[in-house]
Amino acid sequence: MTAPQPSALAMVPFVSVADMMKLLNTIGVADMIAGIADEIEADYRRWPDFDKTPRVPSHSEEGVIELMPTSDGETYGFKYVNGHPANMARGYQTVTAFGLLARVDTGYPILLSEMTVLTALRTAAMSCVAAKHLAPKEAKTMALIGNGAQCEFQALGFQRILEISDVRLYDIDPAATAKVVKNLKDSGLTVTACATAQEAVTGADIITTCTADKQYATILTDNMVGAGQHINAIGGDCPGKTELHRDILLRSDIFVEYPPQTRIEGEIQQLNPDHPVTELWEVITDRKSGRTDSSQITLFDSVGFATEDFSALRYVHRQLEKTGHYINLDMIADPDDPRDLFGMVTRAQGAD
Ligand SMILES: NC(=O)c1ccc[n+]([C@@H]2O[C@H](COP(=O)([O-])OP(=O)(O)OC[C@H]3O[C@@H](n4cnc5c(N)ncnc54)[C@H](O)[C@@H]3O)[C@@H](O)[C@H]2O)c1
């Protein structure tokens, strides 16, 4: 990395929600998910390079606020994210987020970005990276249980990367399903609204669960999952918040992002702490097998890990100069004499 002048370093590119919309509409949703998926997969291939820690949560009765930090030794990143299942009823998002990248050599930030939309893109991208290695090869149909904010991004990511052609939707709230049917009407996907979760999963090669409820929920019961299916379980991502019946886990081969975090937050919090799981980075780097036969049930116990947000932020950072969809924020105090911070304050007196 070459060292820009201090005054240039003090300006931090900021991608607002409006800029993220412009970026998405310039690149296209599916292409952006595919680009982030490539970035995530490349970073999973160099997994040992990263500082890794389970995210730092602050739990409350209503939800959780978390910090997700990581570094590859050259660049540091973190995401601030919340999860509040009751928010939707208040007219708020369940998940909102923003994130930052910084240079490790100076500690100066190089990007501040909205990450509510970016989290949906990176979650879809991560699901697709896992499914590429775990789902049945000829998978064409995906059931999507939970038709909230994440849903369309998952559908479009799987269409683009896994070549899924059919999605089968179910939500306890028919209005959520109707929203997805409308949003996907020009996608080229065959979209079917189902009356029950059982109806949605019947005949599906992949089942994605993305519901939000702060409890040990049973979105899928054991009888609903058949030989050969791949389960992409997204919504169980917090202590006391799961989606699958425990018996499904006992019949599945389970793949995870970072075990110390997933043991606390994922579906596997229902199992003994030594229950065998495979780390995805080992599958991606061919150290371990993914899907080995057509009758195997594979489960990606997704909770979302800090390196994936780092990868997504790096993807956005690479687009800045190409697209110009950002503004510079005067975020770092930058006195001419680095020791004269006080002088900078006094000089600013009366400046307006
Ligand atoms: N694993 C990850 O990386 C990751 C990333 C982002 C979000 N999440 C999680 O994914 C889940 C979905 O997120 P979102 O932003 O789409 O939430 P959302 O609140 O927008 O949507 C959730 C949907 O689930 C539906 N639902 C609730 N209970 C249900 C049930 N029993 N059966 C069917 N549908 C049900 C709701 O009606 C709602 O439409 C949340 O739990 C969130 O925490 C995980």
Yes or no: say if 205 and 140 are a contact pair by the CB < 8 Å rule.
yes
Residue ranges of the chain with per-residue pLDDT less than 50 = 1-4
**Which atom of ligand 1 lies nearest, measured to the CA of 212?**
41
Which residue, chain included where needed, has tokens 């590859």? Answer: 72
Question: Which of 33, 80, 171, 201 to probe ligand 1 with, by most ligand atoms within 8 A of CB?
Answer: 171
Residue 9: its pLDDT value, please? Answer: 76
DSSP 231: E
Q: What does each C-alpha distance from 335 to 10, 102, 327 come to in angstroms? A: 10, 20, 21
- Where helices occur in 189-287 by DSSP H, the ranges are 197-201, 246-251, 259-265, 280-284
Whether 119 is in the pocket of ligand 1, judged by its Cβ within 6 Å, is: yes
| CATH domain 9-117+307-348 topology | ornithine cyclodeaminase, domain 1 (3.30.1780)
Yes or no: say if 252 and 275 are a contact pair by the CB < 8 Å rule.
no
Question: What is the edge-to-edge ordering of all strands in the sheet holding 190-193?
Answer: 190-193, 166-170, 141-145, 206-209, 230-233, 298-301, 253-256, 278-279
Q: Nearest residue CA, atom 18 of ligand 1?
A: 148
Residue 3: its pLDDT value, please? Answer: 46
CA distance linking residue 346 with residue 32, whole number of Å: 46
Yes or no: say if 252 and 299 are a contact pair by the CB < 8 Å rule.
yes
CA of 296 to the centre of ligand 1 (A): 26
CA distance linking residue 241 with residue 212, whole number of Å: 8
From the number of C-beta atoms within 10 Å of its C-beta (0-12, 13-18, 19+), residue 260 rates as exposed
CA of 225 to the centre of ligand 1 (A): 20
Whether 146 is in the pocket of ligand 1, judged by its Cβ within 6 Å, is: yes
Residue 195: its pLDDT value, please? Answer: 97
How much is the pTM? 0.95
Q: Where are the beta strands (DSSP E) in 16-154?
A: 56-59, 64-71, 75-83, 97-103, 109-114, 141-145
CA distance linking residue 166 with residue 146, whole number of Å: 16
Which residues are CB-neighbours of 342 under 8 A, at least 6 positions away? none
The token duo for 26 is 């310039």
Residue 214: its pLDDT value, please? Answer: 79
Whether 95 is in the pocket of ligand 1, judged by its Cβ within 6 Å, is: yes
The token duo for 163 is 């070549």
CA distance linking residue 181 with residue 177, whole number of Å: 6
Instruction: Please tell me which residue in 19, 43, 205, 237 is annotated as part of the active site.
Output: 237
* 237 is a catalytic site residue: yes
Q: At the fourth CATH level, which superfamily is domain 137-304?
A: NAD(P)-binding Rossmann-like Domain (3.40.50.720)
For 265-307, the pLDDT digits (tens) are 999 999 999 999 999 999 999 999 999 999 999 999 999 999 9
Whether 237 is in the pocket of ligand 1, judged by its Cβ within 6 Å, is: yes
Burial code of 140-162, b = ≥16 C-beta within 10 A, e = fewer? ebbbbbbbbbbbbbbbbbbbbbb
Asked whether the domain spanning 137-304 has the same topology as the one spanning 9-117+307-348, the reply is no
CA of 251 to the centre of ligand 1 (A): 24
Cα-trace Rg, the chain = 21
Whether 37 is in the pocket of ligand 1, judged by its Cβ within 6 Å, is: no
C-alpha closest to that of 266 among 303, 232, 211, 320 = 303
CA of 106 to the centre of ligand 1 (A): 39
| CA end-to-end distance (rounded Å), the chain | 37
Residue 276: its pLDDT value, please? Answer: 98
CA of 113 to the centre of ligand 1 (A): 23
Domain range annotation of the chain:
9-117+307-348, 137-304
